[in-house]
Amino acid sequence: MNQPRLLDGKSVAAAVLDECRAEVEALKSRGTTPGLAVVLVGDDPASHVYVGSKVRTCGELGIFSRKIELPANTTQDELLKVVRDLNADPAIHGILVQSPPPAHINEEEIIRAIDPRKDVDGFHPENVAKLALEDPTGFVPCTPAGCMKLLEVAGIETNGAEAVVVGRSMIVGKPMALLLVSKKSNSTVTIAHSRSRDLPAICRRADILVAAVGRPEMVKADWVKPGAVVIDVGINRVADPSKKSGYRLTGDVAFEEVAPLCSAITPVPGGVGPMTIAMLMKNTLQAARQSQA
């Protein structure tokens, strides 16, 4: 059986954060302390964990962070006021409203209310347009940016490669496809989803297969071409009575059966996950740097 190359997100993320640490010091020497505000509405346990990781990483790098925790019954108008106040705060260069918010919040309106110059998630329509136009002043969504960094560091050839992205969200699927088809990457890209006809056959064409659907172990061995590179963006909790927590984390790819077929694959956890926070820090520094211009 083939021993696949594991694309280690922890080590690549650590290298990115080292670069960020040096840039924080350089920005501070010029009188700018980068600032990130993270807004959390409600008490979703997973969101609390993610927000805690972001705030902790800011502290480790010397980035000023402000965590704003709001109750689950916060109204749309109250949240919009928080966003507008942060837009006007010169100490804050990046604003992130943790997703998903409670069901009564119109998330799209909140995203559009964030100053695009502070939209370090890269979800504002202005930044989506800049990504499509390959304008480097825009912010690239953190998870797809992290996936591309993994491919780059691993030396995986994207030029002319057939890439299949399973998932069409604005958070991962669509921006991932735009990055792969860009002039820098030059891949031939197919975006597939749950309604694609003969999804396994589409996936089998891929030299680079990106799974971002949020369905545990959906991608099976017979979906993967031998020698393919597989990027597993999914992180799902699956019940497991043998674990102290009562669950285990798994990706969108059935790792044990798929890995032997691959030339390279990301593990879950430890693959794409660490890259997302690293790229958020990178975006925050970009926002701080551009604020000086």
pLDDT tens, the chain, 293 aa long: 567 799 999 999 999 999 999 999 999 999 999 999 999 999 988 888 899 999 999 999 999 999 999 999 999 999 999 999 999 999 999 999 999 999 999 999 999 999 999 999 999 999 999 999 999 999 999 999 999 999 999 999 999 999 999 999 999 999 999 999 999 999 999 999 989 999 999 999 999 999 999 999 999 999 999 999 999 999 888 888 888 888 888 999 999 999 999 999 999 999 999 999 999 999 999 999 999 87
Q: Give pLDDT, residue 67.
A: 97
Known catalytic residue: 18? no
Known catalytic residue: 10? no
Catalytic residue among 118, 119, 121, 286: 121
Catalytic residue among 54, 118, 130, 282: 54
Q: Give pLDDT, residue 44.
A: 86
- pTM score of the predicted model: 0.95
Known catalytic residue: 8? no
Q: Give pLDDT, residue 2.
A: 65
Catalytic residue among 10, 67, 89, 98: 98
Which phi-psi region, left, alpha or beta, contains residue 12 (left: φ > 0; alpha: ψ -120 to 50)?
Answer: alpha
